[in-house]
Amino acid sequence: MAQEQANSALRDAHRVVIKVGSSLVTNEGRGLDEAAIGEWCRQMAELVRQGREVIMVSSGAVAEGMKRLGWAKRPREIHELQAAAAVGQMGLAHMYETKLRENGLGSAQVLLTHADLADRERYLNARSTLLTLLKLGVVPVINENDTVVNDEIKFGDNDTLGALVANLVEADALVILTDQKGLFTADPRKDASAELVHVAQAGDAALEAMAGGVGSSLGRGGMITKILAAKRAAGSGAATVIAWGREPDALLRLCHGEAIGTLLVAPTQKTQARKQWIADHLQLRGAVTVDAGAVAKLQGDGSSLLPIGMVAVEGDFSRGDVIAIRDPQGLEIARGLANYASTEARLVCRKPSSAFEALLGYAAEPEMVHRDNLVLKR
Position with higher pLDDT, 297 vs 147: 297
What is the C-alpha separation between 60 and 141, in angstroms, rounded? 12
SS3 341: coil
For the residues of 103-118, what is the DSSP string, one character each?
Answer: TT-EEEEEEE-HHHHH
The pLDDT of residue 31 is: 84
CATH 3.40.50.2020 matches 281-376: no
CB 130 within 8 A of CB 69: no
Q: What is the pLDDT of residue 190?
A: 81
pLDDT at 95: 96
Q: How far is CA 312 from CA 315, 344, 350, 374, in A?
A: 10, 12, 9, 18
In this prediction the pTM is: 0.80
Predicted pLDDT of residue 368: 97
What CA–CA distance (Å, rounded) separates 230 from 200?
11
Question: What is the reported pLDDT for 149?
Answer: 61
Q: Which of 33-42, 154-163, 264-273 has the highest mean pLDDT?
A: 33-42
**What is the domain partition of the chain in residue ranges?**
2-270, 281-376
pLDDT in tens, 40-65: 999 999 999 999 999 999 988 888 89
d(CA 236, CA 214): 26
Query: How many CB atoms are located within 10 Å of the residue 185 CB?
Result: 15
Mean predicted confidence (pLDDT) in 176-196: 87
326 has pLDDT over 90: yes
Going by pLDDT thresholds of 50, 70 and 90, the confidence category of residue 75 is confident
Mean pLDDT, range 70-91, rounded to an integer: 89
Q: For residue 220, name the pLDDT band (cuts at 50, 70, 90).
A: very low
Q: Which of 82-91, 128-137, 211-220 has the lowest mean pLDDT?
A: 211-220
pLDDT digits (tens, 9 = 90+) for 278-295: 877 667 889 999 999 999
Fold topology of 2-270: Carbamate kinase (3.40.1160)
Contacts of 257 (CB under 8 A, 6+ apart): 3, 6, 7, 10, 11
Supply the pLDDT for residue 376: 93
Mean pLDDT in residue range 70-92: 89
What average pLDDT does this structure show over 231-244? 91
The C-alpha atoms of residue 17 and residue 78 are separated, in whole angstroms, by 28
pLDDT tens figures, 117-143: 777 778 888 999 999 999 999 999 998
Q: How confident is the model at residue 12 (pLDDT cuts 50, 70, 90)?
A: confident
* pLDDT above 70 (res 343): yes
